[in-house]
Each structure stands twice: as structure tokens, then as C-alpha cells.
């Protein structure tokens, strides 16, 4: 019985992935959202389900600059980093389809956001503060959270950035459920395709 259920799940996932891939076409699927929202983890699995390439823009930035994100922030500041990030993401979006996971501040940059809107279908991985904090407070690799009260800093980032993330084409609530559930919800959102038209007008 368990094997039959697993086969049904696999068949459903394949059908959903095929529908999502058809909706995506030649566009890129771009994950946006705050640190800890699951953009890379879920993005990678969605790419596998749709059998298209996956790339993490932060990893690509580190590869081309031969520096970590933390080192880039320390050496050049956020403004210079955002310019580099825009150039890298613009290049990544030139060919598709592929899944691109972006850093938390990428979509906030007007130039980067314009490139994403032009060449991609954007998915906002939305999440509550407690979910994000539980995920990010264990690692000391977030330059923007190196403050006296990092949880408050995270809350401030949410206040500033969520209205802009809301411009994304699709929105999926990231929460503490299995990755399989999150992947299916993202695929279903892409397959449905038009949900944010309603979100933006109502």
C-alpha cells in the first residue's frame, strides 16, 4: 500500500511539474524573499522536478568575484555589492529556462527587479518572522544581521521589503512543513499562473 501511495505522489508531482514547465516556457523562474525563506533549498528541488538547471545567484557572485558575500560587503559596502549582484543576475537571466535563487536584497534593487520582471517569472517565498528567525539565527554568515539586536533587524527588513516582494508574480507561504509539500505548492502556483493578478487588485 505504501508503495502505491508513493507511486501516486510521484505521478502527481510529474504531472504538476509538466504543467508548471509548460507555463514557464522559455522564461526563468526566479525565487525572491528574505534570508531563511527557503529560496535555494526549494528552488533546487523545483528545478529538479521540472528538469531544468538551477543556479544560486549568491554562489555565482562568489564564484566570479572569488570572495564570499560577507567579504564583499566588508570590502566594498552594500551599494557596490548591489551593482555587482545586478550585473550577475542580468547575465543569468539571458538564457532560460532555469531556476534562479536570489539573495534577499536582490529584488529590492530597482534595476535588478526590472531585469527579473522582464526575463522571468518571480516567486516570493513569504514567511513569518518566527520561521525566518528559527532558520537564520544558527548561522553567523548574514552580514545584514551583524547588529546588536539581529531579530529586530530581521523584523525591520520584513517591514521594509515585504511590500516590494509583494510585486512578485506569485507568492507561496514558506513554513515548517516538508520540502516535498513546499515544492508541490510552488509547482501548483506556477501551473495556476494567474493567482497574483487577483492578489494585486484585491
Tens-digit pLDDT profile for residues 86-131 = 999 999 999 889 999 999 999 999 999 999 999 899 999 999 999 9
Which residues on neighbouring strands pair with residue 123, listed in sequence order?
31, 170
Q: What is the pTM of this model?
A: 0.87
CA–CA separation, 192 and 189 (whole Å): 5
Contacts of 183 (CB under 8 A, 6+ apart): 13, 42, 45, 46, 49
Among 126, 99, 82, residue whose Cα is nearest residue 40: 99
Degrees to nearest 5, angle at CA 174 with 173 and 177: 115
Query: What is the SS3 assignment for 186?
Result: helix
Q: What are the tens digits of pLDDT across the range 13-38?
A: 888 999 999 999 999 999 999 988 99
Q: Where are the beta strands (DSSP E) in the chain?
A: 28-32, 54-56, 99-101, 120-126, 170-173
Contacts of 5 (CB under 8 A, 6+ apart): none
Amino acid at each position: 500500500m505504501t508503495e502505491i501511495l508513493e507511486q501516486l505522489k510521484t505521478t502527481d508531482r510529474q504531472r504538476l511539474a509538466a504543467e508548471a514547465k509548460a507555463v514557464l516556457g522559455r522564461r526563468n523562474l526566479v525565487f525572491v524573499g528574505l534570508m531563511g525563506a527557503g529560496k535555494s533549498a526549494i528552488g533546487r528541488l523545483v528545478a529538479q522536478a521540472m528538469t531544468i538547471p538551477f543556479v544560486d545567484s549568491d554562489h555565482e557572485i562568489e564564484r566570479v568575484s572569488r570572495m564570499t558575500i560577507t567579504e564583499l560587503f566588508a570590502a566594498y559596502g552594500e551599494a557596490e555589492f548591489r551593482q555587482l549582484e545586478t550585473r550577475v543576475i542580468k547575465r543569468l537571466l539571458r538564457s532560460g529556462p532555469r531556476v534562479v535563487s536570489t539573495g534577499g536584497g536582490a529584488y529590492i534593487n530597482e534595476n535588478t527587479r526590472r531585469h527579473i520582471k522582464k526575463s522571468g517569472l518571480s516567486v516570493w517565498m513569504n514567511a513569518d518572522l518566527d520561521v525566518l528567525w528559527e532558520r537564520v539565527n544558527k548561522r553567523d554568515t548574514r552580514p545584514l544581521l551583524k547588529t546588536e539586536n539581529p531579530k529586530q533587524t530581521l523584523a525591520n527588513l520584513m517591514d521594509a521589503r515585504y511590500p516590494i516582494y509583494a510585486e512578485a508574480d506569485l507568492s507561496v507561504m514558506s513554513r515548517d512543513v516538508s520540502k516535498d509539500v513546499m515544492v508541490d505548492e510552488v509547482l501548483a502556483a506556477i501551473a495556476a499562473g494567474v493567482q497574483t493578478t487577483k492578489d494585486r487588485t484585491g
